[in-house]
Chains A and B, each alone.
Chain A
């Protein structure tokens, strides 16, 4: 672990976003993870995404569980709201926070253990309730904090450092999320920021539940030659399905793409996603083809990345429940206590 604080000096020509902030203003403390951990790249991608989206940090709530991945919320956005919760219970805390204040952007950071093992139940319900959040899984297929046991996302027949084979089937979080009704499901690789940063931006702008499963190599326990979650394996077996531009309110110069391969999706906040498919036989807005696509590549040992499934018309938990769009902490006396007549009317509904 690095013992010194990151020097406060920054490049004098470091660009500023519309808020007058540089990307360094979105940093947290220096990471205590192993040198070269994929999770640090994901933190850097989150910093870049928030900087580019020009979101002030205090409009973001970062919530995590337990694990190497869940520690990382301390390494970015040190001006944001944060809750480092109980193991596997990040979705409950995010749900409560979201219901109390729907105006914040909810950024959940979890790992394969926190999500696919102890937190699988919580994860499933956050998905099916369409919680408006971006849920990032930093997926390295191993339990790094407890010295490298196989996790539930580790591929069957993948080996550990000592050469022992994993005998169990892996849980594919993306397939699961599509099954359970998530509206935005993507997979990426920590070593490909060109893909990851726009995905995070799109996920944060998306209205509804957005899952980004980021394969993030564990340099200490799962980056060896027989691993299917190593830097080298990912570089050799990464099937990129599409590239994505996210257009906020600013005008964008768009490149020319083959006709018929681009899908434009306008999000609730007015920003637009341009999805450029790299394969013509695949439609990410159709859940069935998305699932069969995932299964097909998985059988080949190929990791598909990009936006795997996208429902442009997602509704979120607040929409379903018709709950207060206004943050509860800003409700006034008259709204909180509408008087005896209102109570009478309410009670009358149940008689």
Chain B
């Protein structure tokens, strides 16, 4: 193999598994270290710059970072990254003097943002400091989008939501709330320099089976039900409730139902339990509240008597997997299951809907009715119109909407300046030695053996009575410290300089996870096989040095490196050094607008 090019920003970025997995590329280990130091405000600002909604995401994020966490490969459970983010938000001090200054003199460009969810708010947050005027259209009277309508208050308190949404609005968003856009053409005719569409995927999927129409009074679409509860239009539900669907919306529906008075609430899902779409922790939360999950149950019919819903009939299913792992659900032949109920909540997915976009204005759609959007620039086929969030490519989650918002803001800025949208700002990276003394580092390299700490919960008897009692209490500062210490500091990179190496083997001998090797070079497959412990995780790179004095090369398998720095401590010539790799995504924010970085 050729020597690894550590000058390529992607190489070390990929080693920081959590940051690499995060759509917004939040510098996770950096803010976790700040939390351990008690510098909550600094930790909050790093998050705010990168993901705009630390308090919201610290409670509700789908956390792609956690399955990626290195800790899952050397221990068992990932660092509770998401809940540590919440700690930064819960404990932060005043940040008003740290927010970007909004120029009094505007740059003369007006941007329309349609839909008041996380994607649009991110675009506004990024563009307002540059002097743009941002007009936000939202059909409801408050901004927040699905964060307000579809996430129950017992998971996300309204005060937290309001605080973070208002922080963006207070930067000078011009609100046009309570105004549903019914024609894109009409918006365009107002002469905006660019339009951003972040209207989400607002239409719940329905199920056309026998009895659906007759029982419609008691069958509710999940997201509509949650919205109705959020705006206090729905305040009760039948005693026996069946939730159909196995995603996160289904989990929110069932937990909301028991708080509205449901006594016998069940979740039914077509697939086996292990294939459910909901995040593991959301399933756990529902089960902890005593909600049974009936898997392999496919709804066949709604039983209606005298115009009243009586029960749902389910066919039992069985999953079969072909050799490629593709699943097919087939009826198991067992007798059907009849579940009596008063109400049904249907949470089987969401669709996009753009009835308000005229099809003759140059904005093209594909066969499935989705707008054609460039995956890098987020620009539609109508150059002034940009998409982001669920509106762009279908349902994802908040952190993706934020990531889209950042990219769309870059595109809108370039578009308004008349520059090529493909000339994206490059990421900001840095690599700095952390050596403080012979065996002193500026980070704590003593690896914690603790298992993941559980987040304390409110008393269940109390929380199940109320829609607004937050179930999770969050870590206190001591628990947060202990959990933060589990972080392996993957951004503190092992940097190797072959010209200094005397091949004494000290690093190889001390490495607790046998990831350092001195060996003959070869093709990657061969090299992976001949290491001390063969490098079987192909997602993780090999770090290969130039040829050393004996003609061998140093090969490090990045897979399970603990970043403990012992290789560097035991190196007599400082051929190894521990260096902090900083990576910030390219952004429209530059210079004084940047708030998070040290």
| B329 CB-CB contact with A under 8 Å | no
**Chain A residues with CB below 8 A from B533, complex form:** 11, 13-15
**A36 touching B514 in the complex, CB below 8 Å, given contacts A1-B439, A2-B566, A13-B533:** no
The 8 A CB mask of B378-416 against A (1 = contact, 0 = none) is 000000000000000000000000000000000000000
B502 close to A (CB within 8 Å): yes
Nearest CB in chain A: distance from B70 CB, A: 10
Contacts of B330 in A (CB 8 A): none
Q: Are B572 and A35 in contact (CB under 8 A)?
A: yes
Instruction: Check if A9 sits within 8 Å of B571, measured CB to CB.
Output: no
- Min CB distance, A236 to chain B, in Å? 10
Binding site for B on A (CB under 8 A): 1-15, 24, 30-31, 34-38, 40-41, 43-44, 190-191, 193, 217, 219, 223, 231-232, 235
Contact A2 B570, CB 8 Å, known A10-B514, A11-B514, A235-B549 = yes
Closest residue to A4 on the B side, CB-wise? B446
Residues of A within 8 A of B74 (CB): 9, 12
B510 / chain A contacts, CB cutoff of 8 Å: 2, 6, 30-31, 40
What does the 1/0 interface line of B515-555 toward A look like (CB < 8 Å)?
10000000000000000011010000000000001100000
Q: Evaluate whether A44 and B509 lie within 8 angstroms (CB atoms) in the complex, with A4-B445, A36-B502, A38-B504 already known.
A: yes
Task: Please give the distance in Å from A196's CB to the nearest CB on chain B.
Answer: 10
Closest to A22 in B: B514
Q: Determine whether the beta carbon of B515 is less than 8 Å from that of A36.
A: no
Q: Shortest beta-carbon distance, B245 to chain A, in Å?
A: 36
Is B221 engaged at the interface, CB distance under 8 Å to the other chain? no
B562 contacts which of A9, A34, A35, A37 (Cβ < 8 Å)? A9
Report the number of A-B residue pairs with Cβ-Cβ less than 8 Å: 102
Known: A219-B504, A231-B503, A231-B504. A12 touches B560 (CB 8 A): yes
Chain B residues with Cβ under 8 A from A44's Cβ? 505, 508-509
User: How far is B514's CA from A216's CA once the two chains are assembled, in angstroms?
Assistant: 22
Q: Quick check: is B569 within 8 A (CB to CB) of the other chain?
A: yes
- Across-interface contacts of A14 in B (CB, < 8 A): 514, 533
Shortest Cβ gap from B449 to chain A (Å): 6
Residues of B that sit less than 8 Å from A by CB: 73-75, 439, 445-447, 449, 502-506, 508-510, 512-515, 533-534, 536, 549-550, 560, 562, 564, 566, 569-573
On chain B, the residues within 8 Å of A41 by CB distance are 504-506, 509
**Residues A35 and B503 in contact, CB atoms below 8 Å apart:** no
CB A54 to nearest CB in B, in angstroms, measures 18
Partner of B506, one of A13, A15, A37: A37
Distance of A193 Cα from B502 Cα, bound (Å)? 15
Q: Determine the distance from Cα of A193 to Cα of B560 in the docked complex, in whole angstroms.
A: 24
Q: How far is the CA of A193 from the CA of B73 in the complex (A)?
A: 29
Sampled A-B contacts (26; CB under 8 Å): A1-B439, A2-B439, A4-B446, A4-B564, A6-B512, A7-B447, A8-B512, A9-B512, A9-B513, A13-B536, A31-B510, A35-B569, A35-B571, A36-B504, A37-B504, A37-B572, A38-B504, A40-B509, A40-B570, A41-B505, A41-B506, A44-B505, A44-B509, A191-B503, A193-B505, A217-B504
Which of B447, B506, B515, B550 is packed against the most chain A CB atoms within 10 Å? B506
11 new A-B contacts at CB < 8 Å, known A36-B506, A36-B573: A4-B447, A7-B562, A7-B564, A8-B449, A8-B512, A9-B75, A11-B533, A13-B533, A24-B512, A35-B506, A193-B505
Distance in Å: Cβ of A237 to nearest Cβ of chain B: 14
Q: Tell me the bound Cα distance from A24 to B447 in angstroms.
A: 17
Which residue from B505, B506, B513, B550 sits with its C-beta under 8 Å from A11? Answer: B513
Give the distance in Å from the alpha carbon of A3 to the alpha carbon of B564 in the complex.
Answer: 12
The residue in chain A whose Cβ has the minimal distance to the Cβ of B571 is A35
7 nearest CB pairs, A to B: A36-B572, A44-B509, A7-B447, A4-B446, A36-B504, A219-B572, A7-B512
| Bound CA span A217–B512, Å | 23
Find chain A residues with CB under 8 A from B505 CB. Answer: 40-41, 44, 190-191, 193
The answer to whether B550 and A235 touch across the interface, beta carbons within 8 angstroms, is yes
Assess the A36–B571 pair: CB atoms within 8 A: yes
In the complex the two chains form, is A10's CB within 8 Å of B513's CB?
yes
User: Whose C-beta in chain B lies nearest to the C-beta of A38?
Assistant: B504
Q: With both chains docked as a complex, state the minimum distance between the C-beta of A347 and any C-beta of chain B, in angstroms.
A: 58
Task: Give the most central of A5, A10, A11, A24: most B CB within 10 Å.
Answer: A11
Residue from A4, A7, A36 having most chain B Cβ neighbours under 10 A: A7
Measured between beta carbons, the chain A residues less than 8 angstroms from B569 are 2, 35
A173 CB, min distance to chain B CBs, angstroms: 23
Please give the distance in Å from B538's CB to the nearest CB on chain A. Answer: 14
- In the docked arrangement, what's the CA distance between A39 and B386, Å? 64
Q: Which of A10, A35, A38 is packed against the most chain B CB atoms within 10 Å?
A: A35
Residue in chain B with minimal CB distance to A15: B533
* B512 cross-chain contacts in A, Cβ below 8 A: 6-10, 24
Q: Which residues of B contact A15 (CB under 8 A)?
A: 533
Complex: A35 Cα to B570 Cα, angstroms: 4
Q: How far is the CB of B316 from chain A (nearest CB, A)?
A: 38
Residues of A within 8 A of B446 (CB): 4-5
C-alpha gap A7/B439 in the complex (Å): 16
Which partner residue on chain B sits nearest A220 by CB separation? Answer: B572
* Residues of chain B lying within 8 A (CB to CB) of residue A12: 73-74, 560
B438 to chain A, nearest CB (A): 8
Report B-chain residues with C-beta under 8 Å of the C-beta of A1: 439
Is the beta-carbon distance between A191 and B504 smaller than 8 angstroms?
yes
Query: Which of B74, B439, B514: most chain A CB closer than 10 A?
Result: B514
Q: List chain A residues, Cβ under 8 A from B562.
A: 7, 9
Residues of the A chain whose Cβ atoms lie less than 8 Å from the Cβ of B566:
2, 4, 6-7
Considering the chains assembled together, what is the distance between the CA atoms of A238 and B268 in angstroms?
73
Task: Give A2 to B571 CA distance when docked, in angstroms.
Answer: 11
**A3–B439 CB distance below 8 A:** yes
A217 neighbours in B (Cβ, 8 Å): 504
**Residues in B whose Cβ lies below 8 Å from that of A11:** 513-515, 533, 560
| A14–B513 CA distance with the chains assembled, in angstroms | 8
* Distance, CA A10 to CA B449, complexed state (A): 12
Task: Return A25 CB to nearest CB of chain B, in Å.
Answer: 13
Closest to B564 in A: A7
What's the Cα separation between A104 and B572 when bound, in Å?
36
With a CB–CB cut-off of 8 A, which chain B residues contact A31? 510, 570
Q: Are B572 and A34 in contact (CB under 8 A)?
A: yes
Complex Cα–Cα for A196 and B17 (A): 38
Closest to A7 in B: B447
Min C-beta distance of A11 to chain B, whole Å: 5
Residues on B with C-beta less than 8 A from A38 are: 504
Q: Which residues of A have CB within 8 Å of B502? A: 36, 219, 223, 231-232
- Chain B contacts of A35 at CB under 8 A? 506, 569-572
Inter-chain contact B504/A13, CB cutoff 8 Å: no
